[in-house]
Amino acid sequence: MRKHWGLRAYAVIYLAFLYAPILLLPLFAFNDAAIIAFPLSGFSTRWFEQLWTTQALHDALRNSLVIATVTALLATTLGVCAARAGTLPNFPGKRGALGFVMLPLVLPEIVIAVALLIVVRQVLDLNLSNWTVIAAHTVICIPFSIAILNGAFQNLDPSFEEAAMDLGETRWGAFRLVILPLVLPGIVSSLLICFIISLDDFVIAQFLTGANPTMPVYIYGLTRFVDALPLIMALGTILVTISVLLLVIAEYFRRRGVARAGLKDSGGFL
């Protein structure tokens, strides 16, 4: 059945449009020329070697990794609370409270950045640091964490917790021994997604970063220098490779979570 060949062709062209810019990255990262232009000059790894010896880049990378790790842990912890609450019976105002936490999804990022900058500098009179970036990144990551974890928690069969408690576990024991293992894939994928969002964010970091820039802020500084272009291509190649690897891992865990929920469903029917 070869119907819809037009749509199929369109889908392939569309994917090409989505991937075209990214495919250029390795092409010019390994190109032995200081300008980004055709024709290509020849194979070279010198841009990667130069990245290896740039100390400022390493500092920015370390900063970004610390910020992304703390953000992922914080946002996912708060996300677990909200997603778990979502499965429990309603109390007055629960939907409103959960809706408000999701608000950053429909706010332009610059507004969140500006609002927090005002509070930190004018109201609290604190200095900008990695902590201000972490606090803001956590605000924008929580909705994503909740969206991912909702899927994991809503597939849970409530009778599992009841069974564990009937068998003598405390509520905390039931959570730790029964619920947590079942939602663990969701937690892992939430951690990874929050990590990627934080690592990739530029807008909030530019407003709230202290003396030490994060990776995207550092890259943005590089874009002003014409001779740094191949360096950005090399750096981009590395970042894209890491992102894709993390995504594949996150997707693997998400599917395993679905598979676990599926197993549980069939168990319930039996």
Partner 1 sequence: MGLLDSSPGARAAALVAPPLIYALLLLAFPLVAIVVISFWTQSGLTLERTFTLANYREIFTGPIYIWGNANRWGVLPLSLFVSATVTLITVALAYPIAYFVSFVAAPERKSLWLFLITIPFWTSYLIRVFLWKVILGFNGVVNTGLQSLGIIQEPLEVLLYNLSSVIVTLSHAYAVFAILPIYVALEKIDRSLLEASQDLGENRLTTFLRVTLPLSVPGIVGAVLIVFIPTIGDYVTPELMLGSGGRLMSNIIQTQFLQLNNWPLGAALSIITMLAVGIVSLVFILLNRRWLRGRA
Q: Which of residues 149-168 bind partner 1 (CB under 8 A)?
A: none
Return d(Cα 19, Cα 12) in angstroms, integer: 11
Return d(Cα 101, Cα 103) in angstroms, integer: 6
Check residue 168 and give left, alpha or beta (phi > 0: left; psi -120 to 50: alpha): left
**Is 127 one of the binding residues for partner 1 (CB under 8 A)?**
no
| Neighbouring residues of 82: CB distance < 8 A, sequence distance ≥ 6 | 98, 101, 142, 146, 149
**Is 79 one of the binding residues for partner 1 (CB under 8 A)?**
yes
Span from 48-56, 60-68, 114-122, 179-187 in contact with partner 1 (CB under 8 A): 114-122
Q: Which is nearer to partner 1, 242 or 267 (CB)?
A: 242
**Is 176 one of the binding residues for partner 1 (CB under 8 A)?**
no
Residues 198-257 that bind partner 1 (CB under 8 A): 200, 202-203, 206-207, 216, 219-220, 223, 229, 232, 235-236, 239-240, 243-244, 247, 251, 255
- The secondary structure of residue 43, as a DSSP letter, is B
# residues near partner 1 by CB under 8 A: 86
Q: Which is nearer to partner 1, 13 or 267 (CB)?
A: 13
User: In the set 16, 37, 163, 259, which binds partner 1 (CB under 8 A)?
Assistant: 37
Question: What is the smallest separation between the CB atom of 139 and partner 1, expressed in angstroms?
Answer: 5
Assess contact for 71 and 195: CB atoms under 8 A.
Answer: yes
Task: List C-alpha distances in Å: 71 to 20, 67, 187, 191.
Answer: 31, 6, 14, 9
